[in-house]
């Protein structure tokens, strides 16, 4: 059974239909990427999974449980965390306080402490800056903090929306390494939305190409990197 399964999901903003019947499946332990042009519906897909933008029809299953009509906080409790586009950390809170916010739905104090130490092992820069205000961190560090904060909810499935957006190439490289590390060492399943299709496909097992609210191509990441249509439209090759 897939860890995450979307079946024929349709989502609207008023009269505008952003998702026109999206079906996606993510197996436990995989990194799956969702690529496509601006406005294709990638962010809406993540927002639909989290129930922040409720779906109009279709079904979403997590480990076989229907989560399509659950509240966003219940979905976090079920093991799904999202890192939204644009990071959105709390600039007036310290690094540690930002991380505490990520764990606010949990009450297992000891494991929270352990998870914070684990996060600091993955991101040593954040450990050095744990008492610094979030707003004073660099763009790359804020992205690391946003990812760490999502990890503090102890997710089985991590949804990442454009983690490389607006960051310098070296930092982007670093972010992608960290995503792989989280997947391998924490055994966290990852659904990654990216404009940087080339980098995303290099670390993913499987990819979905979205266009106009629909899934246009589904294949292994290796095949998508070789696919002429994908190379021309999304890899600039
Ligand atoms: P981007 O990379 O620009 O974020 P995307 O693939 O994530 O693109 P979405 O943001 O999901 O695409 O947008 C899908 C469609 O829904 C677009 O046509 C967009 O204009 C529309 N849309 C998104 N958010 C809203 C909103 N809050 N209100 C109305 N329409 C919206």
Residue 1 CB–ligand 1 contact under 6 Å: no
- Whether residue 204 is predicted with pLDDT greater than 90 in this model: the reply is yes
pLDDT (mean) for 197-210? 96
- As a whole-number percent, the residues of the chain with pLDDT over 90 amount to 83
pLDDT at residue number 237 = 65
Closest-CA residue, ligand 1 atom 30, reads 13
Nearest CA to ligand 1 atom 17: 39
Q: Check if the beta carbon of residue 4 is closer than 8 Å to that of residue 27.
A: no
pLDDT tens digits for range 44-60: 999 999 999 999 999 99
Segment 140-169, tens digit of pLDDT:
999 999 999 999 999 999 999 999 998 999
183 Cα–ligand 1 center, Å: 28
**Contact partners, residue 195, CB within 8 Å, separation at least 6:** 35, 38, 162, 164, 165
Mean pLDDT over residues 126-133, rounded?
95
Q: Mutate which of 34, 35, 44 to test ligand 1's pocket (most atoms within 8 Å of Cβ)?
A: 44
Cα-Cα-Cα-Cα dihedral sign, residues 175, 177, 180, 181: negative
**Residue 18, ligand 1, Cβ within 6 A:** yes
Predicted confidence at residue 162, as pLDDT, reads 95
pLDDT of residue 19: 98
Please tell me the predicted confidence (pLDDT) of residue 111: 86
Confidence band of 233 (pLDDT split at 50, 70, 90): confident
41 lines ligand 1 (CB under 6 A): yes
Going from the Cα of 127 to the center of ligand 1, the distance in angstroms, rounded, reads: 35
Q: Is 166 in the pocket of ligand 1 (CB under 6 A)?
A: no
Please indicate whether residue 15, judged by its CB atom, sits closer than 6 Å to ligand 1: no
Q: Could you report the per-residue pLDDT of 57-69, keeping only the tens digit for each?
A: 999 999 999 999 9
């Amino acid at each position: 059974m897939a860890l995450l399964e979307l079946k024929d999901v349709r989502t609207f903003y008023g009269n505008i239909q952003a998702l026109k019947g999206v079906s996606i499946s993510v197996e436990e332990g995989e990194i799956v990427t969702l690529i496509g042009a601006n406005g294709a519906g990638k962010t809406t897909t993540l927002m639909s999974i989290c129930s922040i933008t409720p779906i109009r029809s279709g079904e979403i299953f997590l480990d076989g449980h229907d989560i399509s009509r659950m509240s966003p906080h219940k979905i976090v409790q079920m093991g799904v965390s999202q890192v939204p586009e644009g990071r959105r950390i709390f600039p007036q809170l310290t690094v540690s306080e930002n991380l505490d916010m990520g764990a606010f739905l949990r009450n297992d104090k000891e494991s929270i402490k352990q998870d914070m130490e684990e996060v600091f092992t993955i991101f040593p820069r954040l450990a050095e800056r744990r008492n610094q205000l979030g707003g004073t961190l660099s763009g790359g560090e804020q992205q690391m903090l946003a990812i760490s904060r999502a990890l503090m909810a102890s997710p089985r499935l991590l949804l990442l929306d454009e983690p490389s957006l607006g960051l310098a190439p070296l930092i982007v490289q670093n972010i992608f390494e960290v995503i792989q590390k989280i997947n391998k060492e924490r055994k966290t399943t990852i659904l990654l939305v990216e404009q940087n299709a080339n980098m995303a496909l290099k670390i993913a097992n499987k990819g979905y190409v979205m266009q106009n609210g629909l899934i246009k191509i589904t294949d292994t990441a290796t095949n998508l990197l070789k696919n002429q249509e994908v190379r021309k439209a999304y890899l600039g090759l």
